């Protein structure tokens, strides 16, 4: 898709608006993709909102594990809302542009929610480690205050990284081209449009990926290695099954999220194409947030029971 970038520039010096690359030139394909993404977006919002609501309104679920799960659901809602509405608009609208300020805002919130989720998944792994490997000390080591602090640190790190990376990238000049070879304002595609030397910015993105993606992932791997060792020596088959069932859902979410994110931000650019980046981005911005509520609710009887109680209360209030 070719664009006349002069239409998007301010005095032909610095690009002030960007345009997203089209998914397809075929209208029918865009409409089909719009429908599929809208359905998955709706399912993601509904599922995550219901899980968060069920946990907050059912006292039986006021435990560390479900406290972190509620935070994860809120992060997933913010994560998808920062990207998908603009993506849907681009699929059906002739005007596919975004201002530089709008692009920076999207990048900030996408980074905030993404980095916060990386940290929160590590906190969830720590919670499972303490619960299974040190059950006698679980109540004191994972008290409400500790859980709140871990959640606050996760959100705080996301906010700091989001502000830092967004300010650092948008302090660069953009003198054309103006087309983002992506469907949202992700860091690598925006850096590719900047003028001059961006090696320091690319190094900063890589360093943040190492600290905020690799480090939490290694902590998760270490936690689950210890958990697996503890589970294998459990005398009770029922205990082993319950522990493995609880942890398997978390491990599945971690694999989906970190796997796609690692390929995008940690692998050398030469090893993957823009088309692959878009496919991976669709996976971790659309598919994974939709799967999380399904994974956690279907594999957890307490969450399923709480969801039914929450839905039952809503029906009573509606008919009342």
User: Please, what are the domains in the chain?
Assistant: 25-309 (1.20.1070.10)
Which of 15-19, 183-187, 246-250 holds the top average pLDDT? 183-187
Closest C-alpha to 310, from 65, 56, 41:
56
Report the pLDDT value the prediction gives residue 164, as an integer from 0 to 100. 93
Q: Which tokens sit at 213?
A: 């993606």
In this predicted structure, the answer to whether residue 260 has a pLDDT above a threshold of 80 is no
In this predicted structure, the answer to whether residue 104 has a pLDDT above a threshold of 70 is yes
Q: pLDDT, tens digit, for every residue of 11-21?
A: 445 677 888 87
pLDDT confidence of 76, banded at 50, 70, 90?
A: very high
Exposure string of 263-288, with b = 16+ CB inside 10 Å and e = fewer, is bbbeeeeeeeeeeebbebbbbbbbeb
Percent of the chain with pLDDT over 70: 86
pLDDT confidence of 224, banded at 50, 70, 90?
A: confident
Which of 20-29, 52-61, 244-253 holds the top average pLDDT? 52-61
Question: What size, in residues, is the chain?
Answer: 320
In whole angstroms, give the CA distance from residue 14 to residue 178: 10
Closest C-alpha to 246, from 261, 224, 267:
224
Strands 17-20 vs 179-180: parallel, antiparallel or unpaired: parallel
Q: Which of 110-114, 164-168, 258-262 has the lowest mean pLDDT?
A: 258-262
In this predicted structure, the answer to whether residue 176 has a pLDDT above a threshold of 60 is yes
Unique residue bearing structure tokens 């929160």: 120
Distances (CA, A) of 319 to 46, 58, 308, 313, 314: 21, 21, 16, 10, 9
pLDDT confidence of 269, banded at 50, 70, 90?
A: low
Are 219 and 123 within 8 A, CB to CB?
A: no
Q: Which tokens sit at 44?
A: 């993601």
pLDDT confidence of 314, banded at 50, 70, 90?
A: low
> Which pTM was predicted?
0.85
Are 147 and 67 within 8 A, CB to CB?
A: yes
pLDDT confidence of 167, banded at 50, 70, 90?
A: very high
CA dihedral (271, 40, 111, 283) in degrees, to 10, reads: -10
When pLDDT is averaged across residues 51-80 and rounded to a whole number, the result is 90
Q: Which tokens sit at 94?
A: 């002739």
In whole angstroms, give the CA distance from residue 216 to residue 196: 33
pLDDT confidence of 299, banded at 50, 70, 90?
A: low
In this predicted structure, the answer to whether residue 77 has a pLDDT above a threshold of 80 is yes
Percent of the chain with pLDDT over 90: 27
Closest C-alpha to 277, from 180, 178, 199, 195:
180
pLDDT top residue among 146 and 244? 146
Are 130 and 146 within 8 A, CB to CB?
A: no
State the first-to-last Cα distance of the chain, in angstroms, to the nearest integer: 55
Closest C-alpha to 257, from 124, 155, 91, 62:
124
When pLDDT is averaged across residues 188-217 and rounded to a whole number, the result is 86
Half-sphere exposure of 317 (CA within 13 A, CB side): 6
SS3 label, residue 174: coil
In whole angstroms, give the CA distance from residue 320 to residue 314: 10
Mean pLDDT in the chain? 82
């Amino acid at each position: 898709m070719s664009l006349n970038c002069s239409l998007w520039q301010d005095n032909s010096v610095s690009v002030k608006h960007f345009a997203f690359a089209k998914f397809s030139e075929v209208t029918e394909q865009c409409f089909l993709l719009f429908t599929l993404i809208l359905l998955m977006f709706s399912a993601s919002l509904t599922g995550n909102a219901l899980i968060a609501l069920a946990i907050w309104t059912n006292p039986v679920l006021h435990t560390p594990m479900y406290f972190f799960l509620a935070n994860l659901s809120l992060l997933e809602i913010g994560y998808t809302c920062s990207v998908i509405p603009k993506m849907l608009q681009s699929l059906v609208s002739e005007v596919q542009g975004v201002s530089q300020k709008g692009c920076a805002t999207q990048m900030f919130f996408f980074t905030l929610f993404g980095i916060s989720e990386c940290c929160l998944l590590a906190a969830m792994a720590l919670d499972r480690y303490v619960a299974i490997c040190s059950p006698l000390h679980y109540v004191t080591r994972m008290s409400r205050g500790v859980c709140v602090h871990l959640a606050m640190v996760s959100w705080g790190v996301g906010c700091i990284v989001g502000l830092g990376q967004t300010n650092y990238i948008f302090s660069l000049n953009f003198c054309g081209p103006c087309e983002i070879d992506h469907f949202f304002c992700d860091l690598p595609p925006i850096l590719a449009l900047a003028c001059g030397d961006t090696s320091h910015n690319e190094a900063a993105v890589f360093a943040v990926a190492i600290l905020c993606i690799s480090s939490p992932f290694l902590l998760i791997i270490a936690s689950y290695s210890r958990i697996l060792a503890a589970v294998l020596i459990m005398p009770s088959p029922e205990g082993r099954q319950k522990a493995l069932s609880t942890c398997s859902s978390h491990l599945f979410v971690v694999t989906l999220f970190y796997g796609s994110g690692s390929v995008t931000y940690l692998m050398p650019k030469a090893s993957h194409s823009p088309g692959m980046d878009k496919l991976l981005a669709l996976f971790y911005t659309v598919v994974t947030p939709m799967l999380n509520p399904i994974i956690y609710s279907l594999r957890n009887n307490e969450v399923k029971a709480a969801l039914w109680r929450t839905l039952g209360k809503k029906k009573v209030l509606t008919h009342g």
